[in-house]
Structure 1
């Protein structure tokens, strides 16, 4: 055997010996390990002074065709966001065409008169751009996010989708099938069923907002291609729209680019809204929906309140934060931390262009359904007396203000926020002036709003969960218990709309 082979064999045996030998143990530390809970007694270092956050305020411009434009420059990153908002959404659905606006939104970006859906998708991908279409109760949003370098071709795609949708029959039928499948799936979703029942109670069964989200199986089957075209032609008009832009651009150049693509968009009178009135307040009811195979129950309590421009809107929003808007708020503390019956029980105050909504929502362990609702009722009754402490008020104010930097961190959020403020009728500097207005807000004003708008006696109740765990609902004496399982799941008989060709 050669010396080279012996040498190689020796190295192999040496390596094998090293690998198989027990590794040396490090010397035992002379410092004893701290108790497992010692960290609980430590205090984090004090934070340095946080600079004040200055919320952005856009410049307002318009194109000759009455298309409003909001511009906010932000050169921090080479990204531009353009949001085109249409001021009619689900509220434009005809009485017998529930889900039409959602259907339009789903097909809108499925191809234009000059681009198929595949071509559109490929061109967006090549530009590293994202384009989405979202329907809402009172409007549509076409949202474009792109790089500064690809702004011009990306704007071409946004304008083409908004102004020249093809509504090809094959695309319409494919989207119809997807929509119908989604509606079937919603029937097994406790949260979706609860949301649909809340909408019916808030807005009424004859109002477009009171219909099941996305419509019903029957209404979606009845929608024709002609309905989509008519909706688009009626409401997608520059005098019924707004462009909101945030990002890395020069204002005058941006206006010129927008004018090139949207300047020829012709205005047209939009028909006045003829929506049915919201239902009047009546006796409180408890709606019960059976989900026999569930391990949790969805609880929802909701009522209409005041508009976003009401003088007490800020006081009401602040009152809500202390009640159920934060993880440490009263509702979540009682139901999660004290009882351990939920992962989260929260309340919210939201606004649309016609009203405001106060809502309590959460999912609880099914066997504690009745007891959880009893606790929610007790917390609401106590809080509705105006019983908010100065510490709770200060914590609520800090929670609102400290959420602003994150809420307005991105160009996407900023562009969308400007649209929301416009839709609600609020001034565009609403967030910029919020710190001063919050600072001037006193405990008496918040307590008064709590007493006026958070009385649980005004809140209908929706419970979705196993029927066997709802047997004690009547004993709470919150109102008559009404079983709407069949109606909520689409099992009750409905009048069938006339049969029509699906895509014509």
Structure 2
């Protein structure tokens, strides 16, 4: 939790972050550090004329981060101040606790407690991060208006000039489990308004890489669930709040993924929400989806995908692992065709496979003090 800001704001061994910014004020560069589930990401946005400089900055941070204490203490203070605010809303409590719960309590996804924040120390954080940064394999991705040969030469002169690294390039893993089903929702408490609550249902599904076509069918099924649940709540029941429905297939852990439906509403609305979700999911599994529903789900997906393909951010994300995973590029190229190929029968088959009420994980966040 403390690594991103501590690393990037700590600057370099010979230059603070502010000194570096002042020295390079005439240039366009960036420096972001983000731990992921299986890797660390150093990135920056620049212009073609400053690409060489951008690569130099990333190489310098990789090899000579300063880990100054001031950014670490600022992050510690921000997290400590945020804990009471997080506790004051159902969405805050859900965001704090849900990730660990949805990974069966795995501590890697746990939000830091006050004890964690107080007990954290910079030397331990530095040793943990540098143990991987110093020896793990590097993957370099450059996207944008660039010449390939020019990029190869500039990478060779910076990141490519570092000593050879030894390590597995297989980033997929096992050992992460979806939680056991809950017939009765797990009940978390928040300290905010008495008329605010949150309900959440999730079904275990599929990762994003074992079967990309099935993952895309599940994504379309998720969109149909959103359409039906929205119609039920807003049109049939006349409520003003909308459900949040999405899917989250892991790109790292085999067999891990889920479809989720959630809503923030007054506490007395939650039992009806859970009933509606179970009923609609069962109806889709039993009776399928209509051709119109499939098209209402498919068209926006394809249009959004085509728009995203025009952005650097899309390619930066989608090209990860392309050098080491032979299935990565074929799966990327088949995205639109897979969506076009989907039929109502395919979505019903996915619903029958995954929308199983006895496997669903249910959770609610309700006021700590009940309304009188």
Give the TM interval when normalised to the shorter protein: 0.7 to 0.9
1:250-399 correspondence to structure 2 within 5 Å:
250-266=147-163, 267-269=165-167, 278=177, 281-291=180-190, 292-311=192-211, 312-324=214-226, 329-352=227-250, 353-354=252-253, 355-385=256-286, 387-399=288-300
Check the 8 A contact 1:135/1:141 in 2, yes or no.
yes
TM-score (norm 2): 0.85
Structure 1 unaligned regions, length at least 5: 1-101, 472-504
1:224 corresponds to which of 112, 121, 127: 121
Partner of 2:307: 406
Check the 8 A contact 1:332/1:346 in 2, yes or no.
no
Give 3-state SS (helix, strand or coil) of 2:44's partner. strand
Task: Tell me the CA shift for residue 423 of structure 1.
Answer: 9.7
Check the 8 A contact 1:167/1:228 in 2, yes or no.
no
1:153 corresponds to which of 47, 53, 63: 53
Structure showing greater Rg: 1
Distance 2:206 2:360 in 1: 15
Kindly report the root-mean-square deviation, in angstroms, between the aligned alpha carbons of the 2 structures: 3.1
Distance 1:225 1:467 in 2: 35
Task: Tell me the CA shift for residue 451 of structure 1.
Answer: 1.0
Q: Which has the higher helix share?
A: 2
Distance 2:371 2:34 in 1: 36
User: Which digits, 9 at most, give the CA deviation of each residue in 1:262-320, with x for residues without a partner?
Assistant: 12333144799998652663553312233351533222112432221333222212211
Task: Tell me the CA shift for residue 246 of structure 1.
Answer: 0.9
User: Which digits, 9 at most, give the CA deviation of each residue in 1:83-111, with x for residues without a partner?
Assistant: xxxxxxxxxxxxxxxxxxx2222211011
Partner of 1:242: 139
2:85 corresponds to which of 185, 196, 213: 185
Distance 2:81 2:286 in 1: 46
Distance 1:238 1:193 in 2: 37
Closer/same/farther in 2, CA of residues 201 and 342 from structure 1, 3 Å limit: farther
Distance 2:170 2:292 in 1: 47
Structure 2 unaligned regions, length at least 5: none
Distance 2:324 2:221 in 1: 23
Give 3-state SS (helix, strand or coil) of 1:288's partner. strand
Closer/same/farther in 2, CA of residues 183 and 241 from structure 1, 3 Å limit: farther
Check the 8 A contact 2:101/2:179 in 1, yes or no.
no
TM-score (norm 1): 0.65
Distance 2:154 2:19 in 1: 23
Closer/same/farther in 2, CA of residues 420 and 396 from structure 1, 3 Å limit: farther
How many pairs are equivalent? 363
Partner of 2:361: 460
